[in-house]
Amino acid sequence: MSSFTRSRIGLISGTAVVFALGAAAACSSSSGGAVAPPASEPELTNEAGLPEPLPDGATPAFLGTAGACTPLTDVTTATMLTLDVAWPGTASTAMSPATPQPQLYIWLLSHYTVTGNAISGNTWTCGDETPPFTLTALGDSTQGESSGQTATLQITFKNEVWDAIMQHMNGGNGNPSTGSIGGWNIGSSFQVNPATSVLGLKPTSTYANPSTEWPKSESLISPSDYSDDDNDGHPGITATPLGTSGTSTPYVLPVTNLTSPPSPPAQALFVTTRTQLSLYGKSTSCMAGEGTATVTLLNNHVIGCEILGYDVDAGPDADTTELCDNGVPSGAQTEFLDTNTTQYTVMSGTYQTVQLQAGDGGTATCEDVRNAFPTPTTM
């Protein structure tokens, strides 16, 4: 039984730290000097009425005018990020459709402290749902589809992957984030500074630095940079394609080269990711908040895979002949999958957040986050 319960449905965020705060006025800076109260409304909002950064990227603070809430110094939240995304086509994968707009979802658990108007803490990723995608005529043929049939792929991450990441990544400490709030009245602003997180890569990797250009190919990432963040004995974190074969319905497992007859498909992908985002929103109650997310980096690479039939229960060292390229990094099968993976561009983003409250003094888990925000049924 989860030790945390959702106190109220609210809006939330992803990949950086986010929280829901409402409260009394805050009219002093973190250094203690008196300052004028901020504006009562955001200077810029989107079509949905959510606060948006100004054209120069500034996120002005504002103080809400609704009821006051009890100031907090320690906050734990569940968050869901909704991103409108697009991607280019490759030789095997079709480009994203214009309609309906594909959406990618990210779930987060955040814990942080509030000191004056400043926030700081740590965030763990608790889920990631990518949109399904279709193949080109060449891709369909490679999969072994009959003429006129279109294959669809759906890449997922099992819940146990995120639960393991929370325990093992960065020693279980998650990713640090900082930001500020505009005040403690309901409707007040909160802002999270740009934060970068990597999964499947060591934080010491040059590619963990957001100013380093993401490599065009997985082969440019040194295996010494890999990190087994989900602690399953394989490099990177493990994604699971839905499907049972290269021609199953409604989803297929991806084949690993262009041979005919079709090559054995992959039942698991080992991936690395890099994400950078910032948040700007407002509290909607004492327990919830919502706003916009600016995602400047959403990178990924496939660095290995399991071939269909690999005995997972026997352990990663049991039979390397059923790993892509016999387990050797940057082989032809891995490169084929990586070349044809979807590389996302984020068109826009929003978040919802809600506080988690301990029912028995326990510690919040990713399960609590996923229970607070079930997977949208529109996928």
Chain-wide mean pLDDT for the chain? 84
* Domain spans, the chain: 4-372
DSSP state of 208: G
Between CA 63 and CA 119 the distance in angstroms is 16
Alpha-carbon torsion (360, 364, 366, 369), positive or negative: positive
- Give the Cβ contact number of residue 341 at 10 Å: 22
pLDDT in tens, 207-262: 999 999 999 999 999 999 999 999 999 999 999 999 988 899 999 999 998 887 78
pLDDT in tens, 34-87: 445 567 788 888 888 899 999 888 899 999 988 899 999 998 989 899 999 999
- Residues ≥6 apart with Cβ < 8 Å to 75: 19, 20, 21, 110, 111, 112, 113, 114, 121, 355
Write out the two tokens for 64: 């809400």
* CA 352 vs CA 13, 85, 111, 257, 268: distances in Å: 5, 18, 16, 40, 30
pLDDT of residue 86: 96
Site of tokens 């901020």: 38
